[in-house]
Each structure stands twice: as C-alpha cells, then as structure tokens.
Structure 1
Amino acid sequence: MARLSLALTVAAATLVGLPSPVHAASYTASSNPILFVHGWSSSASTWNTMISRFQADGWPSSHLRAFSYDTSQSNATTAQTVSQEVDKLLGATGASKVDIITHSMGGLSSRYYLKNLASSGKVDRWVSLGGPNHGTSSANTCFSTACVEMRIGSTFLTSLNSGDETPGAFTYGTWRSPCDGVINPVDSTVLSGAANTRTACVTHTNLQNDATIYGQVRDFVNP
C-alpha cells in the first residue's frame, strides 16, 4: 500500500508539472518554515524549483518564503532585511523557529544576521549552497559594496569569520561543488563547526536545482 501511495504521489506531481518528490511527503507538524535568501545579481524566482520540490514533499506554500533585495548594498544592510523577513515568516505561520536556506552571497547577509542580530530562539538550521564564506576571486571584477565584501580578505569577511565561524545555538550546513565555477577557491564555502558537504560536479547556478542536493538539504533541515 505504501508503494502504491508513493507511486500515486509521483504520478500526480508529474501531471501538474511539479518535480517528483524524492519520497513520500516528509513535512510534519514539527517541521520549520523556511526562508530562502538568494545571491548576488539574482532574485526570489531563483528558488522556484527548490520551493516546488518542498511543496511536493508536503510543505505548505505559506511556510516557504523567498524575497528579493538590492544585491549591490552591503550585506550588513541586507541582514536587516533578513531579520524582518524571519519575523514576517514567524508571524505568518505561528512557528517558533525558521530554517534559512541560502545560495551564494545570500549566505553572507544571513550569517551576519545570525552572528549579530538574531535571537537564538528564532532560527534552527542554516544552509549555504556555494557561499563565498571566505571570499572568491570572482568578486575582483565587480565593484558594488556587496561585491567588494565578497573579495578574499575583505574587511567584512575578516570580521564575519573572526572568532567562532558558526556562533550561536544554530545548526550550520554547507554544500560546495568541485565544478562551481564562481566560488574560487571552492573550499571557501567550508565553515569550521558546520556540516560541510562536497557535491558531485554541479555548476554554481544548479546548486539550487540539483535533485540530489535538494534531498540532502531537505533532510538536513528536517531531520
């Protein structure tokens, strides 16, 4: 019966054009709502595939929040927006905590939020997909405030990484790909104290769309 139910779930997802779930819906009443933070020169729509997969695995749309922001401004400024979005999501769902999933530069503003602005009671788990946590040489070719902050050895990163790289009562996880192509060096994403995962050969933009990575991230935020 369980196999039949899963088959019907997969078939239904296919008929409505959604990605098939990796397994039967894993959302439970104890699952946290999720805030998604995009990266440089991107927008909330970059999360459409991952959000649809979470929905196919049982997450209500009200528990999956992505937002757009000005990616040229300082990551410290964006951290204020992250704080506001966390509060909005908590208020809308009545949940006590959220999980945060980030891509690329989105990891920096959200880490700033966790280190300097967040109450430990508001966030449970944090995910960085291809984050320039220790900088990337790719940022040497752009000149906005946020981009300069992504450069290796920047004042912003030196401060962000000083002391404990994974502070607070949060659970941190990172994913990096040997074929990223944007985060150079690839191991820039790795954080001391985090669960650090090296993926198969996946490009930077596909870290959000790869089905295997999705399954790993889903299980990380929903243990």
Structure 2
Amino acid sequence: MSNTLILVHGFMDTGRRMTWMSKQLRTLGWKVLTPSLLPSNGTQTIEKLAERLSQFIQENTLESDRIDLIAFNMGGLISRYYLQRLGGLAKTDRFITIATPHNGTLAAYFLPFPGIKQMRPNSRFLIDLNGNLEQMQELVFVSYYSPYDLIIIPAKSSVLPTVIASKVFALIHPWMIFDKKLLKRIVYVLES
C-alpha cells in the first residue's frame, strides 16, 4: 500500500464525488488524494483538465512517489491524457477506469462544449489517444463498465483492446463508484 491513490472525478463533478470511495480506501490504509478538476462541465478541453491533474500530482506527491489512478467517467480520459501525453506513465503503476467512454459515447452529442465533443465516437481526441495504446501496456490497466449504463452509450465503449475489461452490474451510471462489490475488485487490483 505504498502507492498514493489519485481518485479522478468525472463530468459535472468535483473531488467530493469520490468521497465514499476515498474513505473506504483510506480505512484500508492507503493515502488517497481527490483533486477537483474544474470546470468539469465540458466547457474546458480534456487536455486542459489533464494539465491541472498533472499539476495537482506534482504539487501533492514527491518526485519519487509511485501512484495509482482510479478514474470515473470523463476522469478516465483526463487521466489517459495525463498518462499518454504528459509523462504520467513514468510515475504510475495501476490505472483503473470506471464507466469511461474510451471509444466515445453517443450521449456526448447532447452538448456542444469542447470537452464534450472530445468524448464523441471517432473524435480527433479519441482517435489520437487510441492510436497509441501500446504504451499503456507499461502499467496494469483495468476498465470497469456496466451493460446497463445509459450515459456511456454503447456501454462497450469502455472496452479497449489489450485492456482488462470487466462488467459491473450497476443499474445507474453514478452508482458505480458506490458499488461495494466493485470496490472489492478494485482493492484486489491495487493489492496485486
């Protein structure tokens, strides 16, 4: 449990959204940090939010510290940009995403904001990130998704080749980060 856990919230949230999960993980002995990457309403690009994540990690961890990232929804794409484009791979051992639209979501067509457009299927942003997935093999990368998710459409958008993908049977998108069975599975990944 020597790695610091960084819990990255999603669309329209702050670090407070990750409070329940962070309390559970702290109880188990981990040091947990929950940045608020704002604005999280899609008016900012994912690249800009990833720069804020990178700055937060630099300011709150030592250069020698190892981290694990646990990210929900859009936070998974913010974290991927940090890992793949901002040097985060050098510091990270495990990357766990929960309901992240790695291949986009049709729900992103409802709003015209720059960060939301980046989450549309086949957006330039996603094509760029997904075109260089082999570098993600440097760490443990697990993606959890629910077949009942009505925000990540289709739900299989959370699945990437060469990434461990696992179903969670949460009925509503936001409930995934409060799922006790999912938490046990995340702990298992963190301890392995």
TM-score by length of 1: 0.80
Aligned residue for 2:139? 170
Aligned residue for 1:56? 27
Cα distance between partner residues in 1 of 2:107 and 2:17: 20
Aligned residue for 1:12? none
Per-residue deviation, residues 23-73 of structure 1 (Å, max 9, x unmatched): xxxxx4xx31101111111111100110111122122xxx21111121221
The alpha carbon displacement at 1:168 in A equals 5.5
How many residue pairs match? The answer is 189
Matched, 1:87 2:58: yes
Change (3 A) 1:146 1:153: same
One of 67, 88, 92 as aligned partner of 2:35? 67
Aligned residue for 1:103? 72
Aligned residue for 1:42? 13
Letter in 1 for 2:161: S
One of 198, 203, 211 as aligned partner of 2:167? 198
Asked if the contact 1:139–1:151 (Cα under 8 Å) also holds between the matched residues in 2, the reply is yes
Asked if the contact 1:75–1:146 (Cα under 8 Å) also holds between the matched residues in 2, the reply is yes
Asked if the contact 1:174–1:195 (Cα under 8 Å) also holds between the matched residues in 2, the reply is yes
Equivalent pairs: percent with the same residue?
Answer: 26
Per-residue deviation, residues 67-124 of structure 1 (Å, max 9, x unmatched): 1121221111111111112223322xx7621000000000111101111112533111
Per-residue deviation, residues 171-203 of structure 1 (Å, max 9, x unmatched): 111000011111000000012221111112432
Larger Rg: 1
Cα distance between partner residues in 2 of 1:213 and 1:119: 25
Written as runs of structure 1 = structure 2, the 5 A alignment for 1:117-196 is: 117-164=86-133, 167=136, 169-196=138-165
The alpha carbon displacement at 1:163 in A equals 3.4
Cα distance between partner residues in 2 of 1:204 and 1:166: 29
Question: Where does the alignment leave 5 or more consecutive residues of structure 1 unmatched?
Answer: 1-27
Change (3 A) 1:166 1:185: farther
Cα distance between partner residues in 2 of 1:168 and 1:118: 14
Letter in 2 for 1:39: G
Letter in 2 for 1:146: G
Aligned alpha-carbon RMSD (Å): 1.6
Asked if the contact 1:32–1:95 (Cα under 8 Å) also holds between the matched residues in 2, the reply is no
Letter in 1 for 2:144: W
